[in-house]
Structure 1
Amino acid sequence: MKRETIFKLESPYRDTMRITAFTFGDYDNKESEKACAIVGATRGNEAQQIYVCSRLVAVFKKLEEQGKIRSNKQILIIPTVNNYSMNIKKRFWSLDNTDINRMFPGYDLGETTQRIAYNVFEQVKNYTYGIQFPSYYMPGEFVPHIRMMHTGYEKPDIAREFGLPYVYIRESRPYDTTTLNYNWQLWGTSAFSFYAGKTTEIDEPAAEIAIRSIIRFLTKMGVCNCSLEEGFVSQVIRASNVSSIISAKSGILQRIKRAGNHVIHGEVLGKIIDPYDGTVHEKLLAPIDGLVFFVHDSPFVNESTYVYKIIPSEI
């Protein structure tokens, strides 16, 4: 294992910001394949994302010692690119509230977050496979899955090799062109966004699923040599297939169903409670039979908020 600082940012008021990368495999051989780059937290509240990557560092260190990373292969892990925001509990860049994951491929002479993105992308852009652990723009809990943007470069058949229940494909939007995933694809990397359960708290079962899934994927791609159980036969779903339940009222959210629960049409998913007198403002009902794919997990919910997303039993 090689540990190195790939970017430093001096500060007059705080300790120097350092972005740390871990490389495993045949990293001393310039002719070896840059097989897989894994990037964790780009935002300061992504606790699950940095946790999974820290676990992966420990796992790959053992695999390397056991000779289970194939010769002529390199694996790179960057657990976080934004520890400056993480240690003061802010989601975005602490000085100007910009999102580093909206700054790729970056610019070495630009604003601070552009320079951070540039230096990270220079390290990861030439890898065959790229795995990012992002988070959703709303607080919530997902069933672990691989998410891909429809860019014309996506490869859902390869994504199925992770062995997760679902591969989720959504249409790309104009602002997606500045994300790491999108730019990885433009530079020829097979890129995958791995949604590993929660964001602001540790989800141990989902983390274990993520770790085993990545080792399974890299074994099937010929990067590792490990023996693992077969995963799921992944179902490829599109955003248009997923049914959304949107709140009509605001208040305290009482969740009855959680991510991964199976529900039937008309079943109560949750309730929105008046924060003053405890009356039920609204019952959130399942519009279809299916599986709860996402659930909003903040204690408070506003009007017109996506509270639940359900994958129908039949697509």
Structure 2
Amino acid sequence: MKKQILYSLKSPYREQLDVIGFRFGHGKKSAAIVGAMRGNEVQQMYVCSRMIQELKIIEAKGLIAEDTEIMVIPCVNYYSMNIGKRFWAMDNTDINRMFPGYSLGETTQRIADGLFSKIQGYEYGIQLASFYQQGNFLPHVKMMDTGFASPELMKDFGLQFGILRKPRPYDTTTLNYNWQIWETKAFSVYANATDVIDENAADEAVYAILRFLDKHDMISANTPPGYITKLIDESKTKQIRSEAAGIFKSCIEIGKRVERGDILGIISDPFDGEIISEIRSTVSGTVYFEYCSPLINSNTVCFKIIK
């Protein structure tokens, strides 16, 4: 393992920001794994730290293939992480909306440029991603449908679901999209939690990535058997929204099968406790996202269901 600084940014008020990468093996740029780009992505950083420990053991045993380089970058934005902010602390911009970056641009554009210049050219790119909404989600892998890679590759992670997403205009500045435009086969792995650590979900994500690396002959690893992945188009999922504001309580767990009309959650009045809304499923399927904040606004996406 070699630890190296991929990009540095000086600050007049804080210590220098160093984006650190951990390189395993040597030779062909085979796989890059990127963790937290936002300040609340603790689970994503943790999964990468677990990956580093696993790859150290694999490398010590000589089980990384010849002419293979694997790069792991646990955290890009610890400036925001250590003060509890999701986005860049100074101007509230999102590094994952700044790719491929611009070396003479705003701070987050320069960070994106510095990072992308180091991880461009890998055959496979894996990002530990998080939802923009506060909540829990079933571990799954997602790929943008840019036409540059086969969705069948998602099956090699062995997660329960592989979701194919049609890019929207705002997706064109994300790491995943730009990786694919520059001919890297890119995937987003979602490991349930974001700002807390979920050990079981972290295990599942680590094993999924190891399975993928093993399947593509980058490493030799024994992992628990995965799922026979079901590939679905994101347009086949259903968002369930709240019809009132108040105190939110979920009545279902992620991964559970529900039928049309089942109660998914309730909303009560924050002052007198009376139930003011029942959230019911409008389709039959599997719950893969659950809103988890105690307070909810009207018309908020509170559940997502794979039909």
Question: Alpha-carbon deviation of 1:114?
Answer: 0.8
Q: Which moved more, 1:84-93 or 1:63-72?
A: 63-72
Cross-structure match for 1:18? 18
Whole-angstrom CA distance in 1 between matches of 2:206 and 2:196: 17
Cross-structure match for 2:291? 296
Match of 1:230, as an amino acid?
P
Cross-structure match for 1:101? 96
Whole-angstrom CA distance in 1 between matches of 2:169 and 2:236: 22
What is the DSSP-based 3-state SS (H/G/I as helix, E as strand, rest coil) of the residue aligned with 1:114?
helix
- Percent identity for Structure 1 against Structure 2: 48
1:123-164 Cα shifts (integer Å, max 9, x gaps): 111100000011111111111111111212242111111011
Q: After superposition, where does 1:13-162 map in structure 2 within 5 Å?
A: 13-26=13-26, 32-162=27-157
1:158-214 Cα shifts (integer Å, max 9, x gaps): 111101111111211111111000000011100000111011111111100000111
Cross-structure match for 1:29? none
1:223-282 Cα shifts (integer Å, max 9, x gaps): 011223432111111122112211110111101112112222322111011111111111
Whole-angstrom CA distance in 2 between matches of 1:6 and 1:112: 16
What is the DSSP-based 3-state SS (H/G/I as helix, E as strand, rest coil) of the residue aligned with 1:127?
coil
1:71-125 Cα shifts (integer Å, max 9, x gaps): 1100000101100000000010000011000111111111111110011001111
1:13-64 Cα shifts (integer Å, max 9, x gaps): 11111111000012xxxxx211100000110011110010111111111111
Question: Alpha-carbon deviation of 1:68?
Answer: 1.3
Q: Are 2:207 and 2:224, in contact at CA under 8 Å, matched by a contact in 1? A: no
Match of 2:261 among 239, 262, 266: 266
What is the DSSP-based 3-state SS (H/G/I as helix, E as strand, rest coil) of the residue aligned with 2:129?
coil
Whole-angstrom CA distance in 2 between matches of 1:254 and 1:74: 46
Match of 2:62, as an amino acid?
G
With normalisation by structure 1, the TM-score equals 0.95
How well do the aligned residues superpose, as a CA RMSD in angstroms? 1.0
Cross-structure match for 2:6? 6
Whole-angstrom CA distance in 2 between matches of 1:106 and 1:310: 34
With normalisation by structure 2, the TM-score equals 0.98
2:196 aligned with 1:201: yes
Match of 2:225 among 217, 222, 230: 230
Whole-angstrom CA distance in 2 between matches of 1:258 and 1:15: 42
Q: Which consecutive residues of structure 1, in runs of 5 or more, have no partner in the other structure? A: 27-31
Whole-angstrom CA distance in 1 between matches of 2:269 and 2:144: 38
Match of 1:70, as an amino acid?
A
What is the DSSP-based 3-state SS (H/G/I as helix, E as strand, rest coil) of the residue aligned with 1:249?
coil
Give every structure 1 segment of 4 or more consecutive aligned residues whose post-TM-superposition deviation is greater than 4 Å.
none
Question: Alpha-carbon deviation of 1:297?
Answer: 1.1
Whole-angstrom CA distance in 1 between matches of 2:72 and 2:83: 23
Cross-structure match for 1:176? 171
Match of 2:34, as an amino acid?
V
What is the DSSP-based 3-state SS (H/G/I as helix, E as strand, rest coil) of the residue aligned with 1:283?
strand
Q: Which moved more, 1:5-14 or 1:67-76?
A: 5-14
Match of 2:139, as an amino acid?
P
Q: Are 2:97 and 2:173, in contact at CA under 8 Å, matched by a contact in 1? A: yes
What is the DSSP-based 3-state SS (H/G/I as helix, E as strand, rest coil) of the residue aligned with 2:47?
helix
What is the DSSP-based 3-state SS (H/G/I as helix, E as strand, rest coil) of the residue aligned with 2:49?
helix
Cross-structure match for 2:249? 254
Match of 1:7, as an amino acid?
Y
Whole-angstrom CA distance in 2 between matches of 1:276 and 1:151: 49
Q: Which consecutive residues of structure 2, in runs of 5 or more, have no partner in the other structure? A: none
Match of 2:154, as an amino acid?
A
Whole-angstrom CA distance in 1 between matches of 2:256 and 2:248: 17
1:271-311 Cα shifts (integer Å, max 9, x gaps): 01111111111111122332111011111111111101111
Match of 1:211 among 192, 195, 206: 206
